[in-house]
Amino acid sequence: MLRAVKITPKLVVRFAFLPFRKVRNPCLYCPGICIASCPTYLSSGNILLSPIGYARFHDIAREKCLKCWRCVQECPLGYNLPETYSKPVKISLRIVRPGRLILVADEEIDLQLAEHLSESLGTGLAVVKGVAERYNNGSPIEYKTLKKAKRVLSGAELAVACSPEVSHALGIDFLGIHLKDLGIKLNYEGPIHIPCLLKSQREKLLKSLEDAGVRPTFVDEEECIKLSIKENYLYLCPIAKKHGVRTIFDLISY
């Protein structure tokens, strides 16, 4: 896949001066360094369905952008494009069951799964509200509510997210990184998918999966689960369960 962008002196100068200008939308200054990572652009070839198009037309973005945050990870300015689509969302977090180790679930995404896991593994459980809305609509989290949620979790020795969305939103590790701490063993050999939101945790995640008994024959980091699903893959996202494909949660023996 082509990931090259011609870095011209003019582009370097434009970027270098950005911090000194009053800029509302840095995408207007960039040729689209991120577009080779955008699943909707790669599948359509339509520039309107790329970060550049979404940065200019929020109505299209709200509907078509997958809110996968891939472009944010590629953008040299760290421009958080999906956070510009909608107004800030408030989140709230409550501890359902205290514990040294706490599983954190979103009320809409994976609460049932987390309740079952937490009971079986004997861990604490916390439920957060509002995270699904952020990844459905594209919105920042209201800072005060994020701070409060983190304060509530700070009493636990270790808090891990059951979904990539909660991990990304709260800045806590995904459960897949702590399989050993949770005493989880998995027996699987075959292709696996790394979720868009967990790309930055890739190395730790692969090591933990391998230590737990996963033997990947192929690691797919390009596809977004919201756009394409492969029946023979092992997925790490709880939302993959809705598509009837296998996830790491199906391999956990209780």
Q: Is 26 in the site for ligand SF4 (CB under 6 A)?
A: yes
Q: Is 184 in the site for ligand SF4 (CB under 6 A)?
A: no
Whether 55 and 81 have beta carbons less than 8 Å apart is answered as yes
Alpha-carbon distance values, 108 to 14, 20, 134, 163 (Å):
42, 41, 12, 11
Note whether 85 binds ligand SF4 by CB under 6 A: no
User: Between residues 163 and 208, which has the closer beta carbon with respect to ligand SF4?
Assistant: 163
**What is the distance between the alpha carbons of residues 18 and 186, in angstroms, rounded to a whole number?**
48
Cα gap 11→179, rounded to integer Å: 44
Q: Does 124 bind ligand SF4 (CB under 6 A)?
A: no
Q: Judged by CB under 6 A, does residue 208 bind ligand SF4?
A: no
DSSP state of 247: B
Distance in angstroms (rounded) separating the CA atoms of residues 89 and 130: 7
Closer to ligand SF4 by Cβ: residue 54 or 235: 54
Q: Shortest Cβ distance from residue 69 to ligand SF4 (Å)?
A: 5
Cα Rg of the chain, angstroms: 19
Near ligand SF4 by CB under 6 A: residue from 10, 24, 48, 51: 51
Q: Give the binding site for ligand SF4 (CB under 6 A).
A: 26-27, 30, 32-34, 37-40, 51-52, 54-55, 65-71, 75, 77, 79, 81-82
